[in-house]
Amino acid sequence: MATFKAPHIPSSEITAESVYLQRRQFMKVAGLLAAPVMGGLALDTKAAPMTGGVSLDYQAAASGPEGYWTDEDATPAGDISSYCNFYEFGTDKGDPAKYSHEMSVDPWTIEVVGEVAKPGKINLEDVLSRYALEERIYRLRCVEAWSMVVPWVGFSLANLIKDFEPTSKARYVAFETLYRPSEMRGTRSYTSTIDWPYKEGLRMDEAMHPLAILSVGMYGKTLPNQNGAPVRLVVPWKYGFKSIKSVVKIRLTEEQPPTSWQLSNAREYGFYSNVNPEVNHPRWSQKYERRLPSSLFSPNRIATRKFNGYEEQVASLYAGMDLKKNY
């Protein structure tokens, strides 16, 4: 049975850096990747693997609505890309940074199927030129009780879903990660019990919520492989495991889709998995979290907020629902 590790403070794994991002605006980077830039990106991508080295040079501009960005200090890029959960590459926090370069992310296509009028595939270049990219500075709260603030670059998931024309039967959205054992040593491990490919799901209204994005970058650069390159989901009011990495398939469904962590341990991990300090994990409290960078001597322990601080924006999605039952 796959389990998350009980929270602890691996001080050795966390390198404090002095670089902090303090942008106080939710920034929009609309229309930056027009066709000529796209050509450049494709060439750059071939010249160097997309493991964090290639700068997309997203130039931020214009601010967006309040509540969709945080002015808390962003976690240094080095911490975000060295302390990761990406079980396809191993279960240690450092494994994804060590081994995810073995995953080839070029070319990349996302297939959208199921309850849609226009099922089909879209390749990454078209994704980048079609959807307006924005910078969203979000908190990310892992179920293991650590958290970060990440300046993502991404676009609204709703915009992509709408383009494939959901039918009236579409009630849920299921996501799948790439499954390529030859490039993902964690999936070849005999001790791994995750049902590959990694699967996640959202209710349709959650997926269409403006906070839900598909991210292609962070800190204004291409997403490092270990953080889910080239495109990953970010749902900031839910525990981090809902934010599935390296997405290749999106299926709209009538029924609630199975998810990897539910399949692995349904008692500990529910479908909703909204961040909630009032509902403890069966093996540990969810009342507090360790904000990275954190160390043994400076644990940086802070109170966890309901819906990870996005209550105002998303609580209405769950009106009348028992969040203890629907954990």
Identify which range of 34-42, 78-86, 107-115, 268-276 contacts ligand MTE by CB under 6 A.
78-86
Question: Which residue sits closest to ligand MTE, CB atoms considered?
Answer: 240
Nearest of 128, 122, 102, 112 to residue 216 by alpha carbon? 128
Is the bond preceding residue 107 a cis peptide, omega within 30 degrees?
Answer: yes
Q: Measured from the CB of residue 62, what is the shortest distance to ligand MTE in angstroms?
A: 26
Under the binding rule (CB under 6 A), the answer on residue 77 touching ligand MTE is no
321/219 Cα distance (integer angstroms): 36
Identify which range of 42-50, 86-94, 156-164, 290-298 contacts ligand MTE by CB under 6 A.
86-94
x/- mask, ligand MTE, residues 96-115, rule CB under 6 A, reads --------------------
Under the binding rule (CB under 6 A), the answer on residue 227 touching ligand MTE is yes
**What residues between 21 and 50 interact with ligand MTE by CB under 6 A?**
none
92/99 Cα distance (integer angstroms): 11
Under the binding rule (CB under 6 A), the answer on residue 87 touching ligand MTE is yes
DSSP assignments along 130-196, one per residue: HS-EEEEEEEEE-TTSEEEEEEEEEEEHHHHHHHT-B-TT--EEEEEE---GGG-GGGG-TT----S
x/- mask, ligand MTE, residues 177-196, rule CB under 6 A, reads x-------------------
195/64 Cα distance (integer angstroms): 39
Positions touching ligand MTE (CB under 6 A) are: 84-88, 140, 142, 177, 198, 227-228, 240-241, 243-246
